[in-house]
Structure 1
């Protein structure tokens, strides 16, 4: 806590330079880890200074200066992480570190086989995984960490660890996807590779060609006219199908004989309907005449008047 209080009162740019010199002169993993921790302390101090400046309503330049110090400290942290990943993997390859716990995994320990593990050098598995992500992202896209930090500064945003980690993780994932795609492409036959290459070149050439706006407009107008003609044909065919659709089906089933037979059946059905309706009409007329005669017989006539309020017959 005292160490942090001293740093908070010191000049942030000089502290950033100190952390950078410490990392540049580091020759062992332990020294790299110390430089990383120093940069982390400077980052925390700059973060606190920026918050205090905002709380006190300080000039924007003071806040921006604290943010720049944060960004510089984060860049040093990122550089240290990449070196730690290289140092650890190199030590494992040289047999100086145990990749998966060493002889400690055996039921009976052998002092001659005992080797330091990741925990012995002050790193956790999660920290090592993150360090490798930072390294792989930088290999795939050199300068990715600095660009991500500068982008935050340009937007007036705080260059925090979460934003940097996201940018690096995304870059690492894209690199892995690209590598996987390359491995898949290499596994393809030469013929398929040639086809894909030709397709990619054709797409690139098409994108490189200038766009002829007038030609596009003319093509769109032609397509509209063609679409209008198709709509007219569809309307005509729909009307024809409504009139002749059933006959087309009958013709396909049995030629003109089938069509004539179908029409004969329709005519017969219509005649039957006509006869039935005529008989019904005659019956209704007969019944109407009968009841009309009965009404007249009982003194009712067409001129009968009824009082709509009392419903009594007034005249009739």
Structure 2
């Protein structure tokens, strides 16, 4: 009995030992191992604009940029100017047409008025000459009866008018003949005297006609020259308005010039930025930097490598 008990106790001890050994082994296998700490990335930032302006070729790029901006401003001004001229051409032409028509009418009225004044002046001279001849005839012979003298003189003066129509002239001659016929025995003397006076007046009338014709030509030429001067001034103004290129050709030429200037500017800037990226890569490699930002707003710290990149551009 005691022997059997002892055997059982021994078996139990062995089993417990095995269980404890397996349990300890499993615990050792499942225990989490410590994770090594990962290395944090290194960030940096740089003022790209400042670096760009510090590049040796920036002055070349800046000059091209200023030239491009000036060309754009010139293009915009010319575009406005030509558009303004095109819009003004129609109204200006219509306005001048109205002014020219009114001016032509005014010049015609002035021509008529000045000719009428000159005609009155010449007729007045002929009337004075006629009266002078009549007075000279009265000194040597009886000219006409006193009763009809005034009427006959007035009719004679009327017939001297250069601008009488044929109808008016015929009426005056008929009235004159009637008065002369009513003069009775004095008719022959009156007709003879009138014929002598009329013959004496002929050179004066011819001279007056010539003077009036020459005056009309002079005044007409003066007024036409005045009108031509006005039209020439308008033609010059209109030529200034019409002095603009064909829009399609003009726009194409400007497009090509601006594109060429922009290509030159962009080529220089592209070369500058490539150089800056290369130098930034060198700085990052030297300082163990993982990434360089143009603007940095992240959490944590980032070093400023602006001056380091500029130093490599020198």
Q: Tell which has more relative contact order, 1 or 2 (C-alpha 8 A, sep 6+).
A: 2
TM-score by length of 2: 0.22
TM-score by length of 1: 0.22
Q: Name the larger-Rg structure.
A: 2
